[in-house]
Structure 1
Amino acid sequence: MSRSLRALALSRTVATSVMLASSVAASVAVALALALGGAACANSPQPDLTPDYDPSLPTVDASLESHPVVGNSGDDSSSSGETTGGAKKDASAPAANANDAGSTKTPSTPSVTTPAAGEILITEVMYTTLTPEPMSEWFEVYNLASAARTLSGLKITDGGGRSHVIGAGVTLGAGEYGVLVRDKATAIANAVPASAILYEYGAGLSSSSGVILANGASGGIALYDASVRLANVPYGGWFSQSGGSSIQLKSLTGATSDSAAGWCLSATAWTSGSAKGTPGAASDCP
């Protein structure tokens, strides 16, 4: 090989060696830099990550359960803890359309009105009895209205003008009979059905006071709502009898209740040993 070729090969070898040396030096420099940087980081002070704490603030009870927010309250049909869309409802949360928490609605109770004219009838009167009067006297009423009616506040007036205002809590159902007695104990002793007795109008009164169903020509009984007369039976002188029979309205109409033609004299005892009549039941007039 010529001297010039050997020189060229030698120069190429030297150049390659120089390049390799430079690459190694660069790698060493990078490694050294990384090492020095890590050491610097290791020796640098760490930041204080402790959160600020204000001792004046109230502490939080860690036992309290957090409740997720339910996104759609339109389907909230109860607050009993059921789930909607995977989230449990807060049982203590009010319903979406709840009323003001300070108000409570109470279902209203329909009021019972007093009868109008033509809605109440006097259908039977026991004015001459088998036992001492007036304690054993009574009369019967019937409700023609389509709903219950209260008799409280109505005034009972006899043929002599004596009167009594019916006390509170006296209601008669639609299409029902009720018996108003002078003395409840005496009426029951005379076999008037206790279940039919609606009111006692002479409790605690002497035999000469209060409403009296007289036997003579002045006998009569009426019901008033203030000045409005609802029913009237001026029975005095209609029938001649020795006692022990009531008089009964033949038909349930007020048109015939104030004349003798609309009434009959009871002929049948309602139970063994009793007087004659149908207290608390329909008339048995022929």
Structure 2
Amino acid sequence: MDTFPSLFPPGGDSRLNPEPEFQNMLIDERVRCEHHKHNYQALKIEHKRLQEEYVKSQNELKRVLIEKQASQEKFQLLLEDLRGELVEKARDIEKMKLQVLTPQKLELVKAQLQQELEAPMRERFRTLDEEVERYRAEYNKLRYEYTFLKSEFEHQKEEFTRVSEEEKMKYKSEVARLEKDKEELHNQLLSVDPTRDSKRMEQLVREKTHLLQKLKSLEAEVAELRAEKENSGAQVENVQRIQVRQLAEMQATLRSLEAEKQSAKLQAERLEKELQSSNEQNTCLISKLHRADREISTLASEVSCCPLRPQESMRMTAQ
């Protein structure tokens, strides 16, 4: 509007026509108005869009704040649960500490167990050794008696054989002598007179009777010696059977004692392995206890650090 005085100077020339210039100026102003109107419409649309985005961002902020509050409440509940679990773990660890043996207690328990296990085992081994020695002595005694009786039996057998042979030879010689005397008497009977022969016959009959009695006594002695031989053989066989049975029983007893000794030794080894296994389990429990202590210290440090973070986030939200 200020340009109009410059376009129309005062007292201007009436010969000039100002209409074309006005038209151009109006056209320019209309163009500017249209341009401003177009810019206004664009700014209005952009302003409306920005208002909608602002409302949307406000709603999103409210939703985020609600979710944050819910997450904080959830975190507080989780924190309370973790604190409860921490307390429970602390109690469990205290119980485990009461249950877990210290190295000194472990050594003491090990010594007590070893003493309790070794004392009866040593007593059992000593008893078994004494029984083994006693049975071995009895076995050696029976073996010596068996050898002595066997040698005695062999000696008696040889003596009986010798006596039998002597008696047989004596009996045969006596029979041969009697046969010879019989032949001589028979020859004498044929060569002498009857009266003297009758006396001689009576004498020979008496001698024959005496010899027959002597022969019967010798046969009785032979039968008695044979019976003694059979009796001594039966006694020796009986003694041999008894000694063989006793030797078998002694050997079975020795084997059973050796088996019991081996079983006791295996039991002692098994108890030693069980004691070693219990020591390993105790060591494992101690390591678990140390690991649980470290976890508790870690959880305690996390719990002590965690409550600060929600407060900082709340301050940032308030800002």
What's the TM-score bracket when you normalise by the shorter of the two chains? under 0.3
TM-score, with normalisation over the residues of structure 2?
Answer: 0.20
Structure number with greater CO (CA < 8 Å, separation at least 6) is 2
Which structure shows the higher strand fraction?
1
Which structure shows the higher helix fraction?
2
